[in-house]
Amino acid sequence: MQSNCNKNLLNLEGVKLKSVQHTLDGIIIKIETNPKSQICPCCGAGTSKIHDYRWQKIKDLPFQLSNAYLLLRKRRYVCSCGKRFYEKYSFIAKYQQRTTRLSFKIVELLRSTNSIKYVASQTNVSMNTVIRILDTLSYDKPHIPQCISIDEFKGNAGDSKYQCILVDAKKKCILDILPDRTQSHLIEYFKSCSRDERYRVKFFISDMWQPYIDLAKTFFPNATIIVDKYHYIRQVSWAIESVRKRLQASMTPTLRKYYKRSRKLILTRYSKLKDDNKKACDLMLQYSDDLRLAHRLKEWFYEICQSNSYTYQRTEFWEWVKSAESSGLHEFEACARRWSEYILNVFKYGYTNGPTEGFNNKIKVLKRSSYGVRNFERFRTRIIHSSM
């Protein structure tokens, strides 16, 4: 009964536990297996003749918050053809000094945003071992789905300042990481995709960067182009901020400081302000007709974005564009018309760049915890692996 309990505790098939020793380095578990007939790797004949034994120390999963080592008594068999070879074990790979389940544990820990150094410390292996295991992982170039999202993020891997991320906007998973966001590199990448794949793309989602739009028109002619509405909301916020800063230039120093420190009252949705803050906001808006008009345009646009009726959004959005263009505020005139068609597609189809921005945030955490990653292929593998 005791032997069976020890076997279940160790969870290794065909292994007998001989002894357990606690040392300063960790726990040393002495094990051995029953002898059985082996197949000669040279001639393929069976043999049960044992040539000799030797002890091998193998790293295993940590046990009871301590490092664990298996001290295995390995047999070497000899065949009638003269070939000598070691017994094969299901829990350890050839030429390895760690158990297979420890390697799988390292692969699992690499899905987190922790650094390689942290993974190595948690599994009692060196950083080079973790890197070698990471390099064994491989993710090929994927097929292009019907709905793709593209964005860039700042990275220090490779020769480019910015890397590019492709996301399946429907399944919300990373498709690929590209080493450069330049148009020439993106053209080469999508050129390698089959024409049928590119023509099957129905939606192309990006931010307000013109090279992405040009790329979509060239390689995905059947796709509906969608510009993320949150980037447009940011443009509207920047527009009202520009109006405020322009007006501050003519204010007294005391009033200028007050408007700067209280800018959140103007940027926040008016309906979300408390009563005291609403009165303070009303007082700030009394200073200028331009600021009051900019605030009304901002509130109107937020109301359009939060509506659930596409009919209302379509009608009101074009009215908003006309009002912004005729407002006399050059800050709003600049952002009113250029991206209007693509913004309206967001309201119609509901796709945004939200999942992509979420992955970008995870990438930033991964970079920060690792203090940067210089090898692009390794960086790409880690990003895709951690998102699965």
Q: How many domains does the chain have?
A: 3
Q: Is 341 in the same domain as 246?
A: yes
pLDDT at position 1 is 44
Residues 135 and 378: beta-carbon distance below 8 Å: yes
Considering the domain boundaries, does residue 122 fall inside one? no
The position carrying tokens 């994927």 is: 142
Instruction: List the chain pLDDT tens, one digit each, 388 residues.
Output: 446 676 677 888 788 888 899 998 899 999 998 898 999 989 989 999 999 999 999 999 998 889 999 999 999 999 989 899 998 888 998 888 999 999 999 999 999 999 999 999 999 999 999 999 999 999 998 999 999 999 999 877 777 788 999 999 999 999 999 998 888 899 999 999 999 999 999 999 998 888 999 999 999 999 999 988 888 888 899 999 999 999 998 889 999 999 999 999 999 999 999 999 999 999 999 988 999 999 999 999 999 988 889 999 999 999 998 999 888 898 888 776 677 888 888 888 888 888 898 999 999 999 888 887 888 899 999 999 988 7
Residue among 211, 219, 158 nearest 190 (CA)? 219
Q: Single out the residue in 227, 262, 286 at which a domain terminates.
A: 227
**Contacts of residue 280, Cβ cutoff 8 Å, sequence gap at least 6:** 262, 265
- Which of these three, 62, 77, 93, is where a domain ends? 93
Check whether residue 175 and residue 214 sit in a common domain: yes
Extract the tokens encoding 140.
Answer: 């090929």
User: What residue numbers bound the domain in which 215 lies?
Assistant: 146-227
pTM of the predicted model, to two decimals?
0.83
Helices (H) and strands (E) in the chain, counts: 17, 12
Q: How many CA atoms lie within 13 A of 119 on its CB side?
A: 27
Residue ranges of the alpha helices (H) in 77-209?
100-109, 116-123, 127-136, 183-191, 195-199
Give kind and range of the element (H or E) at residue 291.
helix 289-305
**242 and 221 both lie in a single domain:** no
Token pair for residue 386? 């951690």
* Domain-ending residue, one of 205, 227, 249: 227
Cβ burial, residue 221 (10 Å; 0-12/13-18/19+) = exposed
Q: Is 290 a domain residue? A: yes
